[in-house]
Amino acid sequence: MLLDQFKSFVRENVPLAPYTWLQLGGNAKYFAEPVDAEQLQRLVAEASRHSIAIRLLGGGSNVLVKDSGFDGLVIQLIAPAFQKIGIQGNRVTCGGGVRLSHLVTACVANGLAGVEHLVGIPGTVGGALRANSGTEEGDIGHAVREAQMLRRNGDLVNVTGNQLAFSHRRSSLDELAILEATLELQPGDVKYLTKREQTFWILKRSRQPNHPTRSALAFIDPDGESAGELIHRTGFSGLIEGSVQMNATHPNYITAGTGATADQVLALLEKVKKGVHEKTGVRLQPHLVVW
């Protein structure tokens, strides 16, 4: 059905593992890379009419695909139409498919302060806004003034002002896709901001595995606490399930070895989540989204 109408940019039975950090899981029934918003809208509207499940794929850092694959449509916004960054004064408008690292670099280069501490966080702007990504220095939501989203029926919706709501690793931007967002930042000195960006980058890398191949962050830090510290304190760092392991040095990272499966990842995450709750009373929320 989809291939008949959109065969120029929709493929069938596409392996998803190469698109994710853990490099696990099966195939997508359909995989699409639309060239612009109009093409995207038509595709989503048609898939919705036929009750086809849809997922948006960003950087793949927080995605765990089931071993059986995803029986639906996976969309990736990598076309130039979704990668634009425009700067006017202290306002930055960017596409949802822009890499967060590219947005940070562009803002710093133009002397705009307020997002340099987000350097090193993987994924796209769309994903960062949906999850309100941040560090101890603050989150991305504080700077957002407008957003354009695509609903699951293919309609576009613009949200501004008090329609925007952000909290710890959550936002009100919960439609199918975030196509564009406008951020309001503060003027700053380029040299100073560049040094800050470099410092935050070094700090971020020091908290990640030295060899991050097939590794991914496992849990969201609870408000005011560190998931990694909780895992270490309760004795679950280094825990192994089949060919997957909680990193011994960076306990909140999970690594997939040769022969690993998505089922093994899920089993290990459940063991850690249950164990931490039993010992501390804290219910860890998974950072990985299961497809």
Quick: pLDDT tens for 73-86.
999 999 999 999 99
pLDDT at position 1: 63
- Catalytically annotated residue among 169, 196, 214, 233: 169
User: Is 90 exceeded by the pLDDT of residue 112?
Assistant: yes
Answer yes or no: do 163 and 185 share one domain.
yes
Mean pLDDT of 227-235: 95
Percent of the chain exceeding pLDDT 90 equals: 80
283 is catalytic: no
Number of domains in the chain: 3
Out of 80, 115, 139, a domain closes at: 80
Quick: pLDDT tens for 205-217.
877 776 657 899 9
CATH number of residue 9's parent domain:
3.30.43.10
Structure confidence at residue 11 as a pLDDT band (50, 70, 90):
very high
Structural domain boundaries, residue 247: 215-290
Task: Report helix, strand or coil for 270.
Answer: helix
Mean pLDDT of 187-214: 87
pLDDT at position 2: 67
- What secondary structure does DSSP assign to 58-102, as a single string? SS-TTEE--TT-EEEEEEE--SGGGS-EEEETTEEEEETTSBHHH
Answer yes or no: do 90 and 156 share one domain.
yes
Secondary structure element (H or E) that encloses residue 269, with its range: helix 262-280
Please report, for the chain, how many H helices and E strands are present, in that order: 7, 23
Answer yes or no: do 42 and 87 share one domain.
no
pTM (predicted TM-score): 0.88
